[in-house]
Chains A and B, each alone.
Chain A
Amino acid sequence: MENSRRNFLKVAGVAALGVGVKPAVNVLSAAGGGETPAAKVAKHENALTAKKWAMVIDTRKFESEGDLDKIIEACHSIHNVPDFSEIDTPERVKRHEIKWIWKEEYKHAFPGNENEYLNDRLKYLPFLVLCNHCEDPPCVRACPTQATFKREEDGIVLMDFHRCIGCRFCMAACPYGSRSFNFRDPKPGIEKQNLDFPTRMKGVVEKCNFCAERLAVGKKPKCVEASNGAIAFGDLDDPNSEVRELLRENFTIRRKLSLGTGPVVYYIV
Chain B
Amino acid sequence: MLEIALQGSKKYYGWIGALAAVILVGFAFYLYQFTFGLGVTGMSRDVSWGFYIAQFTFLVGVAAGGVMLVLPYYLHNYKAFGKITILGEFLAVSAISMCLMFIIADLGQPMRALNVILYPTPGSMLFWDMIVLNGYLLLNIVIGWKVLEAERSGSKPPSWIKPLIYLSIPWAFGIHTVTAYLYCGLPGRGFWLTAILAPRFLASAFASGPAFLILLTFILRKTTKFDPGKEAIQTLSKIITYALIANLFFFACEVFVALYSNIPEHIDHLKYLFFGLHGHGVLVPWMWTAMILMVLAAILLLNPAIRKNETMLAFTCLILFIGTWIDKGLGMISGGFVPSPLHHVNEYVPTIPELIITVGIYAAGFLVLTILYKIVIGVKKEVAA
User: Which residues of A does B touch, CB under 8 Å?
Assistant: 92, 94-99, 104, 107-109, 111-112, 129, 138, 141-147, 163-169, 171-177, 180-185, 201-205, 256, 259-261
Other-chain residue from B44, B108, B125 in contact with A202 (beta carbon distance below 8 A):
B108
Contact A167 B121 (CB under 8 A): no
Known pairs A95-B45, A142-B124, A146-B121; A203 contacts B342 (CB<8 A): no
Name the segment of B185-193, B272-280, B281-289 touching the other chain. B185-193
Other-chain residue from A167, A176, A201 in contact with B126 (beta carbon distance below 8 A):
A167
Other-chain residue from B36, B106, B264, B265 in contact with A184 (beta carbon distance below 8 A):
B36
Taking CB atoms, residues of chain A closer than 8 Å to B337 are: 172
Contact B187 A138 (CB under 8 A): yes
Q: B119 at the A/B interface (Cβ < 8 Å)?
A: yes
Bound-state CA distance A104–B118 (Å) is 39
Bound-state CA distance A170–B173 (Å) is 25
Chain B, residues 23-37, CB within 8 Å of chain A (1/0): the string is 000000000000011
Contact B49 A203 (CB under 8 A): no
Contact B186 A165 (CB under 8 A): no
Bound-state CA distance A97–B344 (Å) is 15
Q: B107 at the A/B interface (Cβ < 8 Å)?
A: yes
Bound-state CA distance A164–B126 (Å) is 13
* 13 A-B pairs whose Cβ atoms sit less than 8 Å apart in the complex: A92-B39, A95-B43, A97-B45, A104-B342, A109-B342, A138-B187, A142-B125, A165-B116, A169-B126, A173-B187, A177-B46, A201-B109, A203-B37
Contact A177 B341 (CB under 8 A): yes
Taking CB atoms, residues of chain A closer than 8 Å to B341 are: 111, 174-177, 256
- Scan residues 306-364 of chain B and give those whose CB is less than 8 A from a CB of chain A: 336-337, 340-344, 346
Q: B115 at the A/B interface (Cβ < 8 Å)?
A: yes
Contact A203 B109 (CB under 8 A): yes
Closest beta carbon of chain A to B351's beta carbon, Å:
10
Contact A165 B121 (CB under 8 A): no
Taking CB atoms, residues of chain A closer than 8 Å to B264 are: 111-112
Taking CB atoms, residues of chain B closer than 8 Å to A182 are: 37, 108
Contact A163 B115 (CB under 8 A): yes
Contact B186 A172 (CB under 8 A): yes
Contact A143 B344 (CB under 8 A): no
Q: B38 at the A/B interface (Cβ < 8 Å)?
A: yes
Closest beta carbon of chain B to A152's beta carbon, Å:
15
Bound-state CA distance A226–B36 (Å) is 35
Q: B6 at the A/B interface (Cβ < 8 Å)?
A: no
Other-chain residue from B48, B121, B127 in contact with A181 (beta carbon distance below 8 A):
B48
- Scan residues 92-130 of chain B and give those whose CB is less than 8 A from a CB of chain A: 106-110, 112-113, 115-116, 118-119, 121, 123-127, 130
Bound-state CA distance A129–B343 (Å) is 14
- 14 A-B pairs besides A172-B48, A203-B37, A203-B108 with CB distance below 8 A are A95-B42, A138-B186, A138-B188, A141-B123, A142-B126, A164-B112, A165-B108, A165-B112, A173-B186, A176-B188, A181-B38, A184-B37, A185-B37, A256-B341
Taking CB atoms, residues of chain B closer than 8 Å to A172 are: 48-49, 183, 186, 189, 336-337
Q: Which residue of A lies closest to B337 (CB)?
A: A172
Known pairs A141-B123, A141-B124; A202 contacts B37 (CB<8 A): yes
Taking CB atoms, residues of chain A closer than 8 Å to B215 are: none
Contact A183 B124 (CB under 8 A): no
Bound-state CA distance A104–B46 (Å) is 14
Contact A166 B108 (CB under 8 A): yes
Q: Which residue of A lies closest to B44 (CB)?
A: A95
